[in-house]
Amino acid sequence: MKRILLVCLGNICRSPTAHGVLLGKIEDAGLSGSVEVQSAGTGMWHVGEAPDVRAIEAAKTRGYDLSGLRAQQVQDGDFSRFDLILAMDYSNYDELMIRCPEESKSKINLFLPFSGVSEVDEVPDPYYGGAKGFDKVLDLVEQAADNLVARFTERTL
């Protein structure tokens, strides 16, 4: 079983969106038994909260259900538990690298470049913007999730 942790700052916008989309794509590909997906934030402000309502609504319009997800914070044990830890942006990547034991640093990557999305490196934070920001996040995350699932089916991860 491959275990993937998707990380943003508060775990209420970007990483739960990526979590829901990637989970949906994995299920559609028939890979549910071989890939586990979780999401977390580097910050603790929203632990236990549902994703942002705007993220839930934007995802719902594309057929993804984020309503059952709850924010959690990255824990020290996550660095050994997960095979891949994919940060949504450089700030969270840097925070993970600071917290991560040396032997697990190779597991940490930026989500978009690792997933083969080449036009940008970071998933922009839509929290302070309007609905279009959540749609942009979905566009990027769907492309990345498609690329990751293709790699799972080719066994190149």
In the chain, where the domains are located: 2-154
pLDDT of 7-49, one tens digit each? 999 999 999 999 999 999 999 999 999 999 999 999 999 999 9
Sheet with strand 84-87: strands edge to edge: 35-41, 2-8, 84-87, 108-110
Task: Please say whether the beta carbons of 110 and 120 come within 8 A.
Answer: no
8 A C-beta contact, residue 22 and residue 4: yes
CA distance 47 to 102: 27
Q: Is residue 41 within 8 Å of residue 8, measured between CB atoms?
A: yes
Query: Quick one: which of 40, 27, 24 has its CA closest to 142?
Result: 24
- How much is the pTM? 0.96
User: Active site residue: 14, 52, 78, 100, which one?
Assistant: 14
Active-site hit among 8, 13, 78, 100: 8
Whether 125 is catalytic is yes
Annotated catalytic residue, options 83, 100, 125, 155: 125
pLDDT of residue 157: 64
Q: What is the CATH number of domain 2-154?
A: 3.40.50.2300
Asked about 155 being catalytic, the answer comes back as: no
